[in-house]
Amino acid sequence: MKASRSAGSLVGVIALLAAAVRVLRIGMPIGRYVVEGHSMEPAYRAGDRVLVNRLAYIRWPPRVGDVVVLYDPERRSRRLLKRIAPPTDGDDGALRRWIVLGDNAADSRDSRQFGSVARRDIIGKAWRKY
Amino acid sequence: MSGLTLDSVVSRALRMVDGLSAPDVALAHCDIPCGIYDPHYAQIAALSVLRMNQLSDALELAPDLKNKPDQAKYHNSMVRYILVKEEHAEIVKREVRIIWGDYFKPEHAEKYADLHATVWNIMKLASKNKVEMNMQAAQDLLVAVQKFAEMFWDSKGTKTARVPSGQAIGGELVVPQ
């Protein structure tokens, strides 16, 4: 079938790229993530696959409403999926800290618990689901 | 072919890549239950350790070494007490470790200068309670866990009281008011 062949060659290309990236020890510009948990429902459900653009915030800072993957400030080996929320105390981002919240506030551990996050905690912007 | 968009081909390809090398996990959840921590369970587990010491103390040796049913009964009871003691000492460690690691923040550690030492002491005492049948060690464990519970509630600005456990073993529990 034509589709599976083109998918097959795409897999080949992506796998080769991934291998090259691993060998060269450079960061992949695009990361693949699978969502776990319910704090971003209904936008992102458990099991959803999402591509994350790690280069999104090189030139411009995160914007309110962006969904981002970030390091859990309380345990850096874990990564979280949250949405950038408006600054709370009227600051305009000059502090370069961001508030991240889960869409599903009743079931989310986010800036309400661990406070604002720094730019370096943010890995990238959720780009598209696949 | 209808329904075959570039999107679906890309998605399929990416999922095949996922099959070769699993994607990273992005957590969209919290500790369960969400943000709710309570040292109650640790105290109950410490009480259970104490109770197992008490029960094993009270357990009479089977008088006749040749009487198999009697011996079996004795060993069965003793092994159960030891097993439960072991389990509950581990529960104390687990519960305290979660609150210590996940709930307490650096500013708490500044405010409660002996927080880390208290937790360390609990780890040591819980292990001692696994290694030994030792009523005093069990008492010490309960006291240390009570102290930890008071620190926890104080950090949340909640007053506590010590109330009788109401259990056969006696003892007190630190509860929020």
Report pLDDT for A27.
67
For chain A positions 60-79, those within 8 Å of chain B (CB to CB) are 69, 72, 74, 78-79
pLDDT tens per residue across span A25-67: 556 788 899 998 888 888 898 889 999 999 999 888 899 999 9
pLDDT tens per residue across span B51-91: 999 999 999 988 888 889 999 999 999 999 999 999 999 99
For chain B positions 1-30, those within 8 Å of chain A (CB to CB) are 1, 4, 8-18, 20-30
Query: What is the distance between the alpha carbons of residues A45 and A34, in angstroms, rounded to a whole number?
Result: 10
CB A52 within 8 A of CB A31: yes
pTM here? 0.51
A37 and B28 within 8 Å at the Cβ level: the answer is: yes
Report, in angstroms and rounded to the nearest whole number, the Rg of chain A calculated over CA atoms. 17
For chain B positions 79-138, those within 8 Å of chain A (CB to CB) are 102
pLDDT tens per residue across span B97-141: 989 988 888 888 999 999 999 999 999 999 999 999 999 999 999
Q: Cβ neighbours of residue B154 under 8 Å, at least 6 residues apart?
A: B112, B160
Q: What is the 3-state secondary structure (H, E, C) of chain B?
A: CCCCCHHHHHHHHHHHHHHHCCCEEEECCCCCCCCCCCCHHHHHHHHHHHHHHHHHHHCCCCCCCCCHHHHHHHHHHHHHHHHHHHHHHHHHHHHHHHHHHHHCCHHHHHHCCCHHHHHHHHHHHHHHHHHCCCHHHHHHHHHHHHHHHHHHHHHCCCCEEEEECCCCCCCEEEEEC
CA distances to A115, B36, B130 from B30, rounded to whole Å, are: 15, 10, 32
CB B129 within 8 A of CB B141: yes
A49 touches chain B (CB under 8 A): yes
Among B29, B107, B156, the residue to mutate for chain A (most A Cβ within 10 A): B29
Q: Give contacts of B3 with chain A, Cβ < 8 Å.
A: none
A20 touches chain B (CB under 8 A): no
DSSP output for chain A: -HHHHHHHHHHHHHHHHHHHHHHHT---SEEEEEEESSTTTTTS-TT-EEEEETTTTTTS---TT-EEEEEETTEEEEEEEEEEE--SSS--STT-EEEEE-SSGGG--SHHHH--EEGGGEEEEEEEE-
Considering only the C-alpha atoms of chain B, give the largest distance between any 2 of them, rounded to a whole number of Å: 86
Q: Which two tokens stand for residue A118?
A: 């720094």
B13-32 average pLDDT score = 78
Report pLDDT for B56.
95
Q: Which two tokens stand for residue A53?
A: 């653009």
- CA-wise closest residue to B123 among B101, B108, B141: B141
Report pLDDT for B91.
94
B26 and A69 within 8 Å at the Cβ level: the answer is: yes
Q: Give contacts of A2 with chain B, Cβ < 8 Å.
A: 1
Cα angle for residues B165, B166, B171 (degrees, 5° grid) = 40
Query: What is the distance between the alpha carbons of residues B28 and B26, in angstroms, rounded to a whole number?
Result: 6
